[in-house]
Chain A
Amino acid sequence: AQKVTQAQTEISVVEKEDVTLDCVYETRDTTYYLFWYKQPPSGELVFLIRRNSFDEQNEISGRYSWNFQKSTSSFNFTITASQVVDSAVYFCALSDRNSGNTPLVFGKGTRLSVIA
């Protein structure tokens, strides 16, 4: 069965610190997609990135970077030089061919607080 584990429930950092959010996934499928979403206090889930299982290249977008490692089934997210606006709940999610009735399997989320 598919599963996404975000072991860090809450993280608190001081502004300008770097922070890494962990995501570990389980799937038996060889074709799958991984996602990260940001949910600020306003409530809307904001799509950040999609990565497919055949592309292990790391990705950088501004202060955001993602490290995908199939060997450890992890898809970690790093924010460099964090800012107060990064405060939000971050969800990692998985979609595979066995998702069936659940197109996206979400982790429980990590609440990030960035303190000025």
Chain B
Amino acid sequence: DTEVTQTPKHLVMGMTNKKSLKCEQHMGHRAMYWYKQKAKKPPELMFVYSYEKLSINESVPSRFSPECPNSSLLNLHLHALQPEDSALYLCASSQIPGLANEQFFGPGTRLTVL
């Protein structure tokens, strides 16, 4: 299984809602990543989990809260988002953290905040 899956594919939420994005991989990878991508821009790194521990937080606002329940799952909890948070949210994984390891991406969740 060489796939990273993400649910939901699309999400529309109001600014007062609480929702979660889910990511799953069964490749035995020990590093997982959340990226945010705005239209016509490259992905921007948000968080990195290394061996189920948060290792990088790129100064992301606290209304985004990541969680790694186990080595296969990665969640992104959303609360009190702003319209400018509307974007494609991509999850990725790599075998281990490190510069040599290619990241494999999921199909993304397209988030719209009203």
Physical interaction between A and B = yes
Chain A residues within 8 Å of B, Cβ to Cβ: 31-33, 35, 37, 42-47, 50, 52, 91, 95-97, 99, 101-104, 106-109
Alpha-carbon distance A52/B101, docked complex (angstroms): 11
Chain B, interface residues (CB within 8 Å), range: 20 to 34
- Pick the interface stretch among B17-25, B39-47, B63-71, B74-82: B39-47
Q: A35 to chain B: which residues have CB within 8 Å?
A: 102
Count: A-B pairs, CB below 8 Å: 59
Are the C-beta atoms of A47 and B104 separated by less than 8 Å?
Answer: yes
Are the C-beta atoms of B88 and A43 separated by less than 8 Å?
Answer: yes
Among residues of B, the one whose C-beta sits closest to the C-beta of A96 is B99
Q: B92 to chain A: which residues have CB within 8 Å?
A: 45
Chain B residues within 8 Å of A, Cβ to Cβ: 33, 40-43, 45, 48, 56, 58, 88, 90, 92, 94, 97-100, 102-108, 110
Q: B108 to chain A: which residues have CB within 8 Å?
A: 43-44
Q: B110 to chain A: which residues have CB within 8 Å?
A: 43
